[in-house]
């Protein structure tokens, strides 16, 4: 796992990242070349599953758009899934132009109680 940040994380942020099991913390845009190299190595490509988390620091910073672009890029080589966990956001279905496709949206999830299985998604 690699933690990607927009600014220096400082000692407490580094400790938190390492506590989560991160191998590295990279600050963008300075570390962009390194991150691209790490993600493009044959060792990284040999895995059957990869998870990328995109978290915006504030509303409107483009986290959903970046997540959709990553999902579309990953989808060229293998099946991919983009999950939007921001109930206040517009949703990836709108960004990807999939508003008419079947699937669970935030309003439907708001009234659920208990667990939601993977196949239900």
- Cα–chain center distance at 28: 16
Q: Where residue 51 falls among pLDDT bands split at 50, 70, 90?
A: confident
* 98 half-sphere exposure, CB direction, 13 A CA radius: 13
**CA torsion 73→37→21→70, rounded to 10°?**
-10
Alpha carbon distance 80, 76 (integer Å): 9
Mean pLDDT of 82-94: 81
Return the number of other C-beta atoms located less than 10 Å from residue 64's C-beta.
21
The reported pLDDT for the residue numbered 58 is 75
Q: For the chain, what is the mean pLDDT?
A: 81
pTM: 0.52
Give, for 19, the enclosing helix (H) or strand (E): helix 10-19
The reported pLDDT for the residue numbered 49 is 67
């Amino acid at each position: 796992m690699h933690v990607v940040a927009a600014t220096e994380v400082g000692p407490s942020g580094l400790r938190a990242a390492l506590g989560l099991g991160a191998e590295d913390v990279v600050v963008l845009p300075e570390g962009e070349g390194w991150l691209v190299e790490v993600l493009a190595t044959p060792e990284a490509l040999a895995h059957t599953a990869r998870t990328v988390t995109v978290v915006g620091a504030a509303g409107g910073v483009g986290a959903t758009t970046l997540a959709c672009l990553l999902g579309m890029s990953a989808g060229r080589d293998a099946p991919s899934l983009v999950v939007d966990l921001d109930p206040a956001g517009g949703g990836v279905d709108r960004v990807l132009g999939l508003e008419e496709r079947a699937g669970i949206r935030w309003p439907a999830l708001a009234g659920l109680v208990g667990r939601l299985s993977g196949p239900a998604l």
